Amino acid sequence: MSDRHLRVARVCKSYGRQRALVDVSLEFVPGRVTAIVGPNGAGKTTLLGILSTLVRPTAGEIRLGDEPLGHRARQTIGYVGHEPGVYPDLSARQNLRLFAALYALSSAEERIATMLERVDLADVRIDLPTRAYSRGMLQRLALARALLHEPEILLFDEPSSALDPTGVRWLVGELRREREAGRLVILVTHDLEAASAVAGHLVVIRRGRVTLDRAQPAGFPAAEVRALYEEALRDR
Amino acid sequence: MTGSFWRYTLLIAGKDLRIEGKSREVLYTMGFSAALVVLVFSFALSNATDPAQGPITAAGVLWAATLFTGTVALARVLDRERENEAIRALLLSPAPRAAIYAGKLLAVSLLMLAVEGVLVVLVGLLFSAEVFAHPGWLALVLLLGTLGFAATGVVFSAALLRSRNREALLGALLFPVVIPVLLAASRATACMFDPLAPDLEPVAFWVRFLLATDVIYILLGLWVFEPVVSGE
Amino acid sequence: MNLPPALSLPTMPTAPAPTSTRFLAACGGAFLLLFLACLAVAEAPLESVMGLVQKIFYFHVPCAWLLMLSTLVCAGGSIAYLFRGSERGDRIALSAAELGVLFGMCVLVSGPLWAKAAWGVYWQWEARLTSSLLLWLMLVAYVLARRYGGTSARRLAAALALFAAVDIPLVYFSVRFFRSIHPQTTVVSTLGPGMRGAFWLSLLSFTGLWFVLMSLRLAVENAQARIVELEVLLDQAEEKKS
């Protein structure tokens, strides 16, 4: 029985003349939140694209447990970006019904009801299109969408970028909760505070390379995260 | 395997049609714009009263307006995915890319056909063309022409999803490719509208041609859609 | 400058550099062929009906052939790029498309010149002319898409190239299926013996010219790719040093 670790081995990604990722090797473990931080253009979003199977690496390989990560893994990956990824003309329920069908979920209605409760959207008017939702509501719906099919892997791409402080606190709470539930959580963020609040594994990416890869089960105090980040960015 | 492919296709087409059907805004605006195109042509060509040209003009106008309609339908069905990056969530799901393509193709085609029904009547009225002389053949030609247009349109619209010059480029890329389809369809339609045509042999020929072209374009579209729409 | 040894790099482009002897020999051969072809065409008997004007045929048909060849090569490169991420395929596709635009222009200019003399009109909307024009337009669109298409330009253009390639059979067989005043495609086998030799020589030498131009164009693209590789190596060397 293999472990369900996500292993990235010597992954490179080039877009024509630009090298977005060079020789990236990392290991992600269930029940732990990995925070990936780095300056803009470092390659974090590209890495997440590869981890979500949307982008094919130019070289290297990625394995989930024993198997290479392929399109079959999509059933078990959940993604929350800074855009909510829901259809603005449909209501929350209609959106979730669509995604439930896309993921071929049985007892979809129950699951949808549970998720809406969980993200506190159960009381919203049933037929209100999500176009009318606030940013915070959209983000909560996005999380519901991502968790609907009970994925093993949860990917977040700058989820707190458009949230207010309450929203960020809520997000951090959800991240903790998913970590406790044993999910493999990867969080790409600029928000070092949020990262320090939940991460047990810190990765710094700069110019397509990993300059820091440290796991600390006890977590990282905020000051330490900042210090590590700054050091990893310093020109050596 | 094929069962789930069709399930996904219908799911995606259904989603798009439900969104469009909800507000019906698109049908009204598309229909109205297309009707205006026909009216403008009718006015512009009203002095060219050579009766022999009648069926050819009518057929040409019908298909020009259809082309215009199609561009709008493509914009609605594909551009909609850009809002909220919904397309990413769709691509991340287990839905096969080919099914996403087929679903979009279906949705765009149905939207176009709905408007074409109105256009046929309008063209018949304004150009005094015998549009209902051969309803079966006409329906077939409309269907095949629409499918041929949509088959290529969905591919290019999807490829342009993230591009800045989307509107300008779509026309430049799409029109040369669909002209054979439009040519065949309007030739067939012109023959059908012509009361003096000896037989429908040309129609049969162009229908076969359209069928072959559609099959090729759809197969090509199914094949090419995945690399074109996923991230590099 | 000491480059670090044995770093695994994607395949370095391997087309012959424009100054290598092999390439110069190939160029020389191509130009010699062209020269011979010109002589042959000049010597070829005059066609009974059209006279001298008919000799545009020796230029027009090879250019039409090269338009199609360019489209096919562009499509092939596009397939390699789309389905196997081959950068080399992409470079080949771009170079072929540009040559297609070039030779397409030759076809579309020489054709009407001949048409005016032969049929009295510069242009006719019949199947083969229309399809050739469309093919050329699609190649122009390909080049435009590459330039102005933004981020996903290459994939978009690659898709377009495939649709353009599908247009080729339309070009060739449409003459068979649709009555037209364009000479039938089987005209080549009905050429007189003196003409046939000149024709094939002309075709061969134009194809040689195409290969020379492709090599030159590819060399430019490959050189640019090579520069990027070297920049990366330099980057890596600097990182290792620090």
The first and second tokens of residue C211, run together, are 């290969």
Q: Is the pLDDT of residue C215 over 50?
A: yes
Class of the CATH-defined domain A6-89+153-233: alpha beta
**CA separation for the pair A236, B55 (Å, rounded):** 77
Q: Is the pLDDT of residue C178 over 80?
A: no
Supply the pLDDT for residue C2.
45
Supply the pLDDT for residue C1.
41
**Which of A17, A56, A209 is the closest to C85 by Cβ?**
A56
Q: List pLDDT tens digits, range A81-90.
A: 888 889 998 8
Q: Is the pLDDT of residue A76 over 50?
A: yes
**Pairwise pLDDT comparison (A164 vs A52), residue with the higher score:** A52
**CA separation for the pair C137, B198 (Å, rounded):** 35
Q: Let me know: does B58 contact B123? Beta carbons within 8 Å.
A: yes
**CA separation for the pair A76, A97 (Å, rounded):** 18
Supply the pLDDT for residue B4.
87
Share of chain B above pLDDT 90, in %: 36
Q: Let me know: does A232 contact A206? Beta carbons within 8 Å.
A: yes
Q: List pLDDT tens digits, range B13-42.
A: 999 888 887 777 777 888 888 888 888 888
> Which contiguous run of DSSP H or E holds residue C227?
helix C193-241
- Rounded to the nearest angstrom, the gap between the alpha carbon of residue A159 and the centroid of all alpha carbons in its chain is 8
Beta bridge partners of A15: A18
CA A155 to each of CA A114, B92, B229: distance values in angstroms, whole numbers, following the listed order: 21, 11, 21
Three-class SS state of C156: helix
Supply the pLDDT for residue C175.
45
Supply the pLDDT for residue C8.
41
Which pLDDT band, with edges at 50, 70 and 90, does B196 fall under?
confident
Which DSSP state fits C185?
G
Cα(first)–Cα(last) distance of chain B, in Å?
Answer: 27
Q: List pLDDT tens digits, range C60-95.
A: 889 999 999 999 999 999 999 988 888 899 999 999
Q: List pLDDT tens digits, range C27-55.
A: 888 888 888 888 887 777 776 666 777 77
Q: Chain B contact for A151, CB < 8 A?
A: no
Q: Chain A contact for C230, CB < 8 A?
A: no
Q: Is the pLDDT of residue B82 over 60?
A: yes
Q: Hey, of A11, A12, A13, A14, which one would you mutate to test binding to chain C, going by the most C CBs within 10 A of its CB?
A: A14
Q: Let me know: does C236 contact C4? Beta carbons within 8 Å.
A: yes
Letter string b/e over residues A209-220, b meaning 16 or more CB atoms within 10 A of that residue's CB = bbbbbeeeeeeb
Chain B neighbors of C101, CB-CB under 8 A? none
Which pLDDT band, with edges at 50, 70 and 90, does C4 fall under?
very low
Query: Is B88 within 8 Å of A85 when comparing Cβ atoms?
Result: yes
Q: Is the pLDDT of residue A51 over 90?
A: yes
Q: Chain A contact for B224, CB < 8 A?
A: no
Query: Is A58 within 8 Å of C154 when comparing Cβ atoms?
Result: no
> Which contiguous run of DSSP H or E holds residue C68?
helix C57-84
Q: Which subunits sit against A, judged by 3+ Cβ pairs under 8 A? A: B, C
Chain C residue set in contact with B, beta carbons under 8 Å? 82-83, 130-131, 134, 137-138, 141, 144-145, 148-156, 158-160, 162-164, 166-167, 170, 177
For the segment C175-180, the average pLDDT, to the nearest whole number, is 51
Q: Is the pLDDT of residue B48 over 90?
A: no
The first and second tokens of residue B132, run together, are 């209902």
Q: What CA dihedral angle connects B106, B111, B116 and B121, to 10 degrees?
A: 130
Q: What are phi and psi of B139, to 5 degrees?
A: -60, -40
For the segment A127-154, the average pLDDT, to the nearest whole number, is 91
Residue whose C-alpha is closest to residue B108's, from B3, B168, B203, B19 = B19
Q: Is the pLDDT of residue B214 over 90?
A: yes
Query: What is the overall mean pLDDT for chain A?
Result: 88
Q: Is the pLDDT of residue C11 over 60?
A: no
For the segment B194-215, the average pLDDT, to the nearest whole number, is 86
**Pairwise pLDDT comparison (A126 vs A141), residue with the higher score:** A141
Q: Chain B contact for A74, CB < 8 A?
A: yes
- Please tell me whether the interface predicted TM-score (ipTM) of this complex is above 0.90: no
Query: Is A83 within 8 Å of B18 when comparing Cβ atoms?
Result: no
Q: List pLDDT tens digits, range B85-107.
A: 888 899 999 999 999 999 999 99
Residue whose C-alpha is closest to residue A163's, from A190, A141, A139, A146 = A139
Domain ranges, ordered by start, for chain A: 6-89+153-233
Q: How far is C159 from chain B (nearest CA, A)?
A: 7
Supply the pLDDT for residue B1.
54
